[in-house]
Structure 1
Amino acid sequence: MPLFPAPPHAEPIARNPVALSRRTVIASAIAGAGAAAGLAAQTGTAQAAAKAASPPGDVVGKITVGYQGWFACSGDGAPINGWWHWSQNWGQSPSPSNTAIVSWPDVRDYTHTYRTAYPALGNGQPAALFSSYDQQTVDTHFSWMQQFGIDTAALQRFNPNGGEGATRDDMAVKVRSSAEKYGRKFYVMYDATAWTNMQPEMKADWLAKMRALTASPAYARQNGKPVVGIWGFGFNEPNKTWSAAVCLDVVNWFKAQGCYVMGGVPTHWRRGIEDSRPGYMAVYEALDMLSPWMVGRIGDIAGADNFYANVNTPDQEYCDAHGIDYQPCVLPGDLQSGHRAHGDFMWRQFYNMCRIGVQGIYISMFDEYNEGNQIAKTAETAAQVPAGSGIRALDEDGTACSADYYLRLTGDGGRMLKGELALTPTRPTPPVTGGG
């Protein structure tokens, strides 16, 4: 998700969140009619207000993955003509001293890769990376989504008016093609980070370019409306300084265009503290779907349970009471920091969100090798990682995991969300296909 090189989503984990009481609703029933003697009132409590109104669609009741699609390589034909997001200096090949990633992809499914300046892998093979600009790469990613039951991809779109714009425009077309080919849904998710003139330029970009994508049968719709995501409103960060009035205007403008608007919002949106600026509640409540960011907030099962009790549960109740669809993040964990616990960390989040009764789940992210939170295929062992690089493989805690493990885990989490798998705190997905 973050706009490289600044990591805008890496705020510290919240400490000691305040426990909030569950919302209760007083229900009254009046029996009889006419005579006063025939009137009797009954009162009681319910645990939550009426559920948000949206029925299952392309995001409600579904698994959505954040899709960066932002990796390019020198010689791949992309207009940006460089090692986009693979290296700090995009004009030079990635190497241990010029890198922007903390996880190494398993590239065996790609027909074309690009050799880097990294040392050879532990198995002696050249250290090569994929380019998102190759249609075969995007096809491969969407074929994985099809294979593992991932419903929808939210294509990240940062400010397209600079030097990256032409490449981002092309990526949108490639994603459309792959989504149609593999029967997946996709939608445009604007990331407003560092977009100074965002208010008029985002509207203009939608009208001139992105709106045309909604003609695709693969473009995600919810409640009969094309979905548009906007990430970044209300964050208490220096590269997100738009006023609440400006943010509200943009949300309402998209709604007036007939769109269903999903918002990626601060973790503590509801209380307007910590990562959320105060005074943005009108913006949050204007959204059709609300998805609080979680990367950097939790890193173990205890943290996930703490957020379940003190953040996610009252969030869900607030959204239910205000007719907002709630789509919290689930993350595999930063592999390089040792958060994953061979899938137990991610499964605990799936379990917690499903027992709350969320309207959907947003996976952060599909291909985020920069922050180590990717579910896409990843090096299994040191044999598939550049020698001496210090990059951890999936077996970093001693448990062997197949490259597709987190895709399989996401597939099972999606089945539990949809009621196809019984609610269970015990991870059903073996780390290695066929057992283990």
Structure 2
Amino acid sequence: MKAPSAVIVLIVCLSAATPLLASSAVGDVVGKLTVGYQGWFGAKGDNSPHNSWIHWPHNSDHPYKDHTNFEIYPDTREYTHTYQTGYANLGNGQPAKLFSAWDKQTVDTHFKWMKEVTILNNIDTAALQRFASAVKRDPIDLKTLNGVADNVRAGAEAHDRKFYIMWDISNWNNFATEIIEDYDNNIKRLVSSKAYAHQNGKPVVCIWGFGFDDRPQDTKGAIALIEHFKQQGLYVSGGVGTQWRTDTTAWKDVFTKLDMLQPWTVGRYGNVKGAEDYKKTLEADHNTLKQHNIDYQPVLFAGSSWSNSHPASKRNENPRVHGDFMWRQFVNVRELDIPSCYVAMFDEYDEGTAIAKAAENKSMIPTDQYFLTMD
């Protein structure tokens, strides 16, 4: 089996031909399956401006036993370029190597997988993440980030997928002005791509982190940012907390300014029963947003765990149950006639939510380090 079972459940994603209820007509995000795409992995020797290990280990040192920041080991068999780690060999005797998103062929392979994920359906759109730490605080990181964005554009164009930019405002106190600067200086050039996602005839952007207690609380800045992008002719989506409907703070006025809401559910429930029970929230969210003429993009995830980066946490904390957990979430969306959804995440090997190809069993992981495998 080349694709993990969590990916196979995507056959139930909603196609453009399905007559479902939405505030907007089918476009590149409404009526489509979107995945979050981190693109943040780097490796020493990848010839990127950063040219060091990024996200795989706890710091820029190489990854090795007990110095590991990711939970799921990737299936690297289809990559042209991989980089030697400090782990012992894999169970099959092969050297333990990892990939870098700086390599164009690697990102191209990811978009090929999005197109080929099943015979009946595929992943339509990818939301490329951008963070303050790379955008504003380090010019080398910014250059690397922009290079990965170019790889994403090329991969989407080559495989007839769509992509758009999604800023995460975590630890970003000046997000309201600096995101505009980033769009003008770095992102606007991407919008001309034939692969850049449009909805209602407008380029799509997303800002994630509105209304969370541990994120910046600049509601006036958030409204100004949304209104600025709308004045520029953009379609603006927002990542919010799952309690958004009952929020009585100033954030409630931010939510109604958005074209689309995306409530974040990772960790909100962790088993099939919890996913089934959450259907009531999905229904209430959908009905409320239809009344406000706002599109709805519920978040689904395959499972999650992060015991390698947080040793005190439980291994396989929110298990995939061979795809049953994610299947239940798709069933909810289908039964409620919700036309759009967002899978978190395509390549989030760090916290165990990745749906990209991963180690199927112990033969595909280092013999000296625990990793969650698909069996």
Q: TM-score band (shorter)? A: 0.7 to 0.9
| Separation in 2, partners of 1:153, 1:52 | 20
Instruction: Say if 2:334 is the partner of 1:354.
Output: yes
Is this contact kept in 1: 2:169–2:216, CA < 8 A?
A: no
Q: Deviations over 1:33-91 (max 9, x none)?
A: xxxxxxxxxxxxxxxxx95431000000000000000000001011112111111111x
Partner of 2:187: 210
Is this contact kept in 2: 1:65–1:150, CA < 8 A?
A: yes
The letter of the residue matching 2:123 is I
2:369 alignment partner, SS class: coil
1:144 alignment partner, SS class: helix
Aligned length: 338
CA distance change for structure 1 residues 260 and 118 in 2, over 3 Å: closer, same or farther? same
Partner of 1:23: none
Instruction: Say if 2:256 is the partner of 1:285.
Output: yes
Partner of 2:164: 187
| Separation in 2, partners of 1:232, 1:81 | 29
Which structure has the higher relative contact order (CA within 8 Å, separation 6+)?
A: 2
Is this contact kept in 1: 2:43–2:100, CA < 8 A?
A: yes
1:281 alignment partner, SS class: helix
Is this contact kept in 1: 2:271–2:318, CA < 8 A?
A: no
Partner of 2:241: 266
| Separation in 2, partners of 1:245, 1:338 | 36
Q: Deviations over 1:136-167 (max 9, x none)?
A: 00000000111121100000011211222111
Instruction: Say if 2:68 is the partner of 1:99.
Output: yes
| Separation in 2, partners of 1:213, 1:316 | 31
**Structure 1 residue runs without a partner (length 5+):** 1-49, 396-436
Is this contact kept in 1: 2:21–2:339, CA < 8 A?
A: no
Give 1:268 shift. 1.0
Is this contact kept in 2: 1:52–1:321, CA < 8 A?
A: no
1:209 alignment partner, SS class: helix
Identity of aligned residues (%): 47
| Separation in 2, partners of 1:363, 1:51 | 20
The letter of the residue matching 1:117 is G
Instruction: Say if 2:357 is the partner of 1:377.
Output: yes
1:175 alignment partner, SS class: helix
**Structure 2 residue runs without a partner (length 5+):** 1-19, 306-315
The letter of the residue matching 2:151 is K
Which residue among 59, 84, 89 is the counterpart of 1:89? 59
| Separation in 1, partners of 2:161, 2:209 | 25
| Separation in 2, partners of 1:241, 1:155 | 21
Which is greater in Rg?
Answer: 1
| Separation in 2, partners of 1:59, 1:348 | 22
| Separation in 1, partners of 2:175, 2:58 | 25
Which residue among 123, 139, 142 is the counterpart of 1:150? 123
Q: Deviations over 1:319-361 (max 9, x none)?
A: 1111011100110012633510100100000000111121311
| Separation in 2, partners of 1:249, 1:51 | 30
Please report the RMSD computed on the Cα atoms of aligned residues, expressed in angstroms. Answer: 1.4
Query: Mapping of 1:294-333 within 5 angstroms?
Result: 294-309=265-280, 311-333=281-303
| Separation in 1, partners of 2:80, 2:226 | 41
Give 1:196 shift. 2.0
| Separation in 1, partners of 2:357, 2:53 | 20
The letter of the residue matching 1:153 is A
1:211 alignment partner, SS class: helix
Partner of 1:19: none
The letter of the residue matching 1:199 is A
| Separation in 1, partners of 2:91, 2:29 | 41
1:270 alignment partner, SS class: helix
Larger displacement relative to structure 2 (50-59 or 249-258): 50-59
Is this contact kept in 2: 1:329–1:363, CA < 8 A?
A: yes
Q: What TM-score comes out, normalization by structure 1 length? A: 0.76
1:201 alignment partner, SS class: helix
2:126 alignment partner, SS class: strand
